[in-house]
Structure 1
Amino acid sequence: MDPKRELTSVDLAALVGELGAYEGAKVDKAYLYGDDLVRLKMRDFDRGRMELILEVGEVKRAHTVAPERVPDAPGRPPQFAMMLRNRLSGADFAGVEQYEFDRILEFVFERDDGTTRIIVELFGQGNVAVTDGEYEVIDSLETVRLKSRTVVPGSRYEFPDTRTNPLTISREAFDHEMDDSDTDVVRTLATQLNFGGLYAEELCTRAGVEKGLDISDADETVYDRLYEAIERLAIDLRNGNFDPRLYLERDAEADDGDPDASDGRVVDVTPFPLEEREDEGLDGESYESFLSALDDYFFRLELAEEAEPDPTDQRPDFESEIAKHERIIEQQRGAIEGFEQEAESLREQAELLYAKYGLVDDILSTVRGARDEDRSWDEIRERFEEGADRGIDAAEAVVDVDGSEGTVTVEIDGDRIDLVARQGVEQNADRLYTEAKRVEEKKEGALAAIENTRADLADAKRRRDEWEADDSETADEAESDDGEEADRRDWLSEPSIPIRENEPWFDRFRWFHTSDDFLVIGGRNADQNEELVKKYLEPGDKVLHTQAHGGPVTVLKATDPSEASSSDIELPDSSIEEAAQFAVSYSSVWKDGRYAGDVYAVDSDQVSKTPESGEYLEKGGFAIRGDRTYYRDTAVGAAVGIQCEPYTRVIGGPPSAVDDRAVTAIELEPGQYAQADTAKRLYRRFRERFEDETFVRKIASPDRIQHFMPPGGSRITEK
């Protein structure tokens, strides 16, 4: 059984109650690990230090953590963490709420200078959005631009479409949702009522209802038992009647005498004991609070995954992975067909309204007229029932009147259609057409998802074929290649890569090493341009600059500052050409979306900070005396890569220079995506390439990647 990696809606409903006890705690500091884990360090006056973890990657969770279990603070706080610190330092934790019954938490923090809301999306790709008190987005880990909703800095945060909340649903609405289904009871609870698979099965078990019972065979007694089970669950969640359990799967082959083996493998954590988990033979450990159970669960889950066997020592289970992707593709195909059918049904309903315009208009006019006369919804329902008894067509078409929703359900040519009473025929039809379009958008999303799954399937098959090809080599061939293999170690497949950090003196500048191993440094702003010319320019160096305004001072170093300078060193043409490409790529040429620009090069002794008589040099500017060597129409080009030897770090610069040093690199070109958005895309791609994802998180955060990217918009060059 696969362990749980994402919290359910029921988990979050329980979580909100316990986190509320920490209201009034003060925020000390905020941290960001990689691009998916936020840590808030707080002080609660009754409990002392409090650590809140919000993770939205492959693992999606939100809970407090024992101080001794928090990860070490990153060495360099990224921009997102600095923004959080500026907004939250000294702020009071004012509370947390779950949005509807969705997997979304909204944390509220108050400070004298304003309110900050942290909205944590624990579904899909996951996201953390930081907004002000009016829900204007300050920043977010992920930028969302969909037809249905947008989450971008500067815009108002948009929650996803509201779904049915089963914890507050009325009995009448519950019956309606169940009657609307065309499947069995457990799937209806899971999808129509949004409980998900596990809790849908649990509710059936608690209610004593057969899970596979078809909805058409479920009578009023079945509905009564299910609704009572839901009410009891809702009451327990509202009142905090928790009895948390951490469920473990025992290894049947483990040695009973081995204390470590007897611990079992964690597979789930719940706020209540679940009969479903006990029926599966899982052992449940009891906890005082759900928060402590969550802390222990995810801590033990991480330890278990770290202790998994080295994947390089055994053949991966490619067949299971391939079967899983094939199964997902079948499910996605079914979903696409379902969306197509639903959209078509909605369009047909809209067309029926126009086909029976007079009938529908009579019904809606009757309801609006009765409401204008202050008639109750019960009276309206009785009026239609009387009309139906007298054989009036419009009254016979009405099958339900729902005052709580302000709707009338009609049956036309065998189709049941919900009408909003306050709207006319055209508005109701437009609403159905709009809903059909929304369903079509879901279909487009599913089509994109199935393409991604197909790519994953192809990748799994490719890796299986490569593994089998490698495995077929003879022992003699393997031995003869030992020395060669050591020279080209496959870092991407290493399960654990040791971190070897080295922050060079030039790291605060833009920099790279040429293919010939010469250092190139560029200024990030006028102050650094000034510093490079005054402090680091030495005899033998070359200085390069673009003809376009707004470029860095680029210095191709003949020697390191710690070495004796020399004008006798001849710099290779290849290094000068790479430095020229660097100068044009990190200038306004790239920012303007152009693909080439002119660059000139001069010797260090031609550069002076002393202007000609009567002239003035701005900060970062310099005077050039003598002839210049021009590199016309120098093409822009930049790549970002990850280096593993001799140090583990991100590097960037011209592709020809980066490719020689990086174990993997990604090329960029001018494009429409903001620098921060592109950095996040690069980070995700690097994580996919390395077996050791934690290595990428430690050394190549999106902020660190952004440090090596050209200014302005970019896009990944697809080869």
Structure 2
Amino acid sequence: MDPKRELTSVDLAALVGEFGTYEGAKVDKAYLYGDDLLRLKMRDFDRGRVELLIEVGEIKRAHTVAPERVPDAPGRPPQFAMMLRNRLSGADFAGVEQFEFDRILEFVFERDDGTTRIIVELFGQGNIAVTDGEYEVIDCLETVRLKSRTVVPGSRYEFPDSRTNPLSVSREAFDREMEDSDTDVVRTLATQLNMGGLYAEEICTRAGVEKALDIEDATEDDYRRVYEAIERLALDVRNGNFDPRLYRAPAEDETEDEETTGPVVDATPFPLEEHEDEGLTAEAADSFLGALDDYFFELELEDEEEPDPTEQRPDFEEEIAKHERIIEQQQGAIEGFEQQAQAQRENAELLYARYELVDDILSTIQEARTQDRPWDEIEERFEEGKERGIEAAEAVVGVDGTEGIVTVELDGEEIDLVADDGVEQNADRLYTEAKRIEEKKEGALAAIEDTREDLEDAKRRRDEWEATDDHEDDDDEEDEEKNWLEMASVPIRENEPWYDRFRWFHTSDGYLVIGGRSADQNEELVKKYLEPGDTVLHTQAHGGPVTVLKATDPSEASSSDIELPDSSIEEAAQFAVSYSSVWKDGRYAGDVYAVDSDQVTKTPESGEYLEKGGFAIRGDRTYYRDTPVGAAVGIQCEPYTRVIGGPPSAIEGQVETLIELEPGRYAQADAAKRLYRQFREEFADESFVRKIASPDRIQHFMPPGGSRVKGE
């Protein structure tokens, strides 16, 4: 089975109680990784340092982690993290609640200056919304604008519509939901009752009801057993009766001399019969939070350790041998299922064949229990009956009073009977068990077909590999161009140049262009970084950056003899117009002028006044009329790994992948998140994108105002 990547509603219900033990812990700092992983560092009086991780991307989880397992802090805290630090530093953790039975957790923090609520949506695309004590949204990772609900900064947070809570549903409401269904029992529990697939199957198994039983064929007794199984589960959750388990798939290679363990596939708050039936190995855990910490830590390691098939010749022989071993095991399992199902049916038929004898045994026990006779006495009476040669007593092999089970031997077969039930009910239970085993056989048959397809695929890939001569090791091929997008692990080489705090890009000719982000930076550029030979560009429209096309680096000797290429000046002009009010106003072109550095002065003419960031121009200007806006953001892998942005023609040769933008309806922060998700899809190493290209870093290179991906 595939490993779990999202917490279930039952998981969250179990977590609420365990999170409660951390109430009173104080928040130190908040960190945001990418656009979907939030970390809160806290201090608890009894436990010391506490680390809380909340992830709402492809993996959806919320749990504490061991301090040594937390990821390294990002180098530059994004705005969302800074907002949380301002609101939560020194705040007390006041508790957590689950919204109804939905996959939503609400973490509450108290400070003298007010309440902060972090509402975590662990469904759909996932989201984290930060609200005040009155549920007004301060900020959120994703804005939501639907007919049914809205989650945007400045509005009141709206929870999704209420759904049936199976852990508190009344018997009458349960019956209505079941009767309104037009499918089978397990699908009804999963969807109508919101149990989810895994726990819907678990309830059926615990209730002894066939999963594929059509609702039209379900009896009142089936309803009763299913409802009682749900009630027992709800009671365990409410009372905190947890016995957490970490489940692993069977190890692929087992040896007698070395104990091996398979990969993790699930962590649950209590043992599940479904997982036991699937042959998963279970490991007990001290707490559910601890089990989730171990589970997701190992899951991340397994994802990172997946081999890169392009690096060397794959071991096709081992892969083929593994599939053949699995097929052999699956065939053995199918034969075993057939034998088990046949044995259960034969035992059920034996009960009817020896009906009077079995009825005599069960009636004797039931009559004794109505007289409050203890199980030990009942067992003694059967032993006495054996000595007197009573046939019914001789058929009794054992009595288990703790489980209410009596074991009988009929025609050499030992059969466990539920003492409180009659012959027909015990036979029906055996027939139902035979059907359940046959269902497992059907699943195994489907699995063996999948494995056979995998086997044929491995053989085909081996034949294709051997049919070419291109895969031989050759040192001369080491210098081939790297495919960064397909690399399993991209090495990170960081560099923060002196101009990184400004807007910047390098032209297609290699010249540096820098622009101011504010009036202060415009002032600084003119006063500090403008050198002879540089070209200054600005839009005719008000509200644009001072744009400087550098002839030389500040560390080099300046020169007025350098002739800047027209292509670089045109790219700088496009940069100037794109990062101005022209883009913000939704226009697609604007006028730009260029002057030499010696034409720019901070000294106004008599009677003139220059605002901060402003400057005066002396002499003629060169105009670039109707310069089209154009901006792109890309990811560079050589010589450094980083996000860069600027005119598409300038950066396309410097990046491995880029996304072109145009003025549009998405706010800058929302558009940055869309670009981040698209970049993650393009790189095989998603963790690389998270580390160097967070939405906050992407936003650093985007024009002001609304944007959209070009062509959307």
TM-score, normalization by structure 1: 0.77
Distance 2:645 2:477 in 1: 27
Indicate the residue corresponding to 2:482 in structure 1: 489
> CA distance change for structure 1 residues 481 and 288 in 2, over 3 Å: closer, same or farther?
closer
Q: Distance in 2 between matches of 1:158 and 1:484?
A: 57
Counterpart check, 1:146 vs 2:146: yes
Describe the SS at the equivalent of 2:110. strand
Partner-residue secondary structure (3-state), 1:183: coil
- 2:641 matched to 1:643? no
State the secondary structure of the residue aligned to 1:661: coil
Q: CA deviation at 1:479?
A: 8.3
Structure 2 unaligned regions, length at least 5: 317-456
* Shift of residue 281, structure 1, vs aligned partner: 0.8
**What one-letter code is carried by the residue in structure 1 that aligns with 2:654?**
R
Give the counterpart letter for 2:274 in structure 1.
E
Partners in 2 of 1:277 and 1:484 — Cα distance? 48
| CA distance in structure 1 between the partners assigned to 2:478 and 2:159 by the alignment | 52
Which residue is equivalent to 1:521?
Answer: 514
1:357-406 per-position Cα deviation (integer Å, ceiling 9, x unaligned): xxxxxxxxxxxxxxxxxxxxxxxxxxxxxxxxxxxxxxxxxxxxxxxxxx
Alignment of 1:7-156 (within 5 A): 7-156=7-156
Contact 1:312 1:495 in 2 (8 A): no
Q: Is 2:677 aligned against 1:684?
A: yes
| Preserved CA contact (<8 Å) 1:311 1:495 | no
Determine if contact 2:599/2:619 at 8 Å carries over to the other structure.
Answer: yes
Work out whether 1:623 is the aligned partner of 2:616: yes
For 1:100-499, list aligned pairs within 5 A: 100-259=100-259, 262-313=260-311, 486=479, 488-499=481-492
Percent identity reads: 82
Structure 2 CA distance for aligned equivalents of residues 483 and 552 of structure 1: 48
In the alignment, structure 1 residue 510 sits paired with structure 2 residue 508:
no
CA RMSD of aligned residues (A): 2.2
SS at match of 1:39: strand
**Alpha-carbon separation, structure 1, partners of 2:586 and 2:223:** 62
CA contact (8 A) 2:251 2:261 kept: no
Determine the structure 1 residue equivalent to 2:668.
675
- The answer for the alignment partner of 1:460 in structure 2 is none
Equivalent-residue separation in structure 2 for 1:549 and 1:286 (angstroms): 67
Q: 1:270 to 1:479 in 2, by over 3 A?
A: closer
The CA distance in 2 between the partners of 1:590 and 1:621, in whole Å, is 20
Could you tell me which amino acid in structure 2 is paired with residue 171 of structure 1?
R
Over 3 Å counting, the alpha-carbon distance change for 1:311 and 1:693 in structure 2 is farther
Mapped partners of 2:597, 2:477: distance in 1: 42
Q: Is the 8 A contact 1:512 1:652 kept in 2?
A: yes
Q: CA deviation at 1:51?
A: 0.6
The aligned amino acid for 1:604 is S
Residues 1:607 and 2:607 are matched in the alignment: no
Aligned in 2, Cα 1:59/1:613: closer, same or farther, shift over 3 Å? Answer: same
User: Match of 1:597?
Assistant: 590
Q: Secondary structure at the match of 1:660?
A: coil
3-state SS of paired residue (1:312)? coil
C-alpha distance in 2 between matches for 1:255 and 1:602: 77
SS at match of 2:634: strand
- What is the SS of the residue equivalent to 2:594? strand
Deviation at residue 204 of structure 1 after TM alignment: 1.2
Paired residue secondary structure (2:42): strand
Mapped to 1, the partners of 2:32 and 2:131 lie a distance apart of: 17
- Residues 610-661 of structure 1 deviation map (CA, whole Å, 9 limit, x = unaligned): 1112211111011111111111110100000000000000000000001010
Q: Provide the secondary structure at the position in 2 that maps to 1:303.
A: helix
Structure 1's 512 and 258: CA in aligned 2 closer, same or farther, altered over 3 A? farther
Shift of 1:236: 0.7
Task: Return the alpha-carbon distance in structure 1 between the equivalents of residues 315 and 108 of structure 2.
Answer: 45
Q: Does residue 572 of structure 1 match 2:565?
A: yes
Deviations 1:151-181 (A, max 9, x none): 1111111111111001111111111111111
| CA deviations over 1:644-692 (Å, ceiling 9, x no partner) | 0000000000000010101100000111110000000000000000000
Distance 1:7 1:663 in 2: 35
Letter in 2 for 1:97: E
Residue 312 of structure 1 deviates from its aligned partner by: 2.7
Structure 1 segments (4+ residues) deviating >4 Å: 313-317, 470-485
CA distance in structure 2 between the partners assigned to 1:46 and 1:472 by the alignment: 59
Q: Give 1:475 deviation, angstroms.
A: 5.2
Cα distance, 1:474–1:575 mapped onto 2, change above 3 Å = farther
**8 Å contact from structure 2 (residues 252, 262) kept in 1:** no
1:264 Cα offset (Å): 1.4
What secondary structure sits across from 1:10 in the alignment? helix
CA distance in 2 between counterparts of 1:102 and 1:610 reads 64
Displacement of 1:302 after TM fit?
A: 0.9
C-alpha separation between the residues in 1 aligned to 2:53 and 2:623? 54
Deviation at 1:137, TM superposition (A): 1.0
Inter-CA distance 574–119: structure 2 relative to 1 (3 Å threshold): same
1:560 aligned onto 2:558: no
Give the secondary-structure state (helix, strand or coil) at the position aligned to 1:662: coil
CA offsets 1:539-584 (integer angstroms, 9 cap, x no match): 1100001111000000000000001111111100000000000000
Q: For the structure 1 residues 545 and 123, does the alpha-carbon distance in structure 2 shift closer, same or farther, using more than 3 Å as the test? A: same
Instruction: Specify the SS of the correspondent of 2:168.
Output: coil
Give distance in 2, aligned partners of 1:667 and 1:12: 41
Query: What is the CA-CA distance between 1:125 and the residue it aligns to?
Result: 0.7
Match of 1:708 among 685, 697, 701: 701
The alpha-carbon deviation at position 114 of structure 1 amounts to 1.2
Contact 2:465 2:471 in 1 (8 A): no
Distance 1:93 1:499, change over 3 A: same
Aligned to 1:430: none
- State the 1:481 CA deviation: 11
Q: Which has the larger radius of gyration?
A: 2
**CA separation of 1:629 and 1:250: change in aligned 2, threshold 3 A:** same
Shift of 1:225: 1.3
How far apart in 1 are the matches of 2:465 and 2:214? 52
Q: Which runs of 5+ in 1 are unaligned?
A: 318-463
**Residues 505 and 583 from structure 1, CA distance in 2 versus in 1: closer, same or farther, beyond 3 angstroms?**
same
Hey, what's the Cα distance between the residues in 2 that align with 1:690 and 1:606?
A: 46
Tell me the distance in 1 between the aligned counterparts of 2:521 and 2:466: 54
Alignment TM-score, normalising by the size of structure 2: 0.77
Cross-structure match for 1:542: 535
- Residue 483 of structure 1: CA displacement? 6.6
Q: Distance in 1 between matches of 2:123 and 2:52?
A: 19
Residues 149 and 249 of structure 1: is their aligned pair in 2 closer, same or farther, counting only changes over 3 Å?
same
Instruction: Identify the range of structure 1 (247-256 vs 149-158) with the bigger mean alpha-carbon deviation.
Output: 247-256
Q: CA deviation at 1:252?
A: 3.9
1:31-80: CA deviation from partner (whole Å, max 9, x where unpaired): 00001000000111111111111001111100000111111100000011
Could you say what secondary structure the match of 2:129 adopts?
Answer: strand
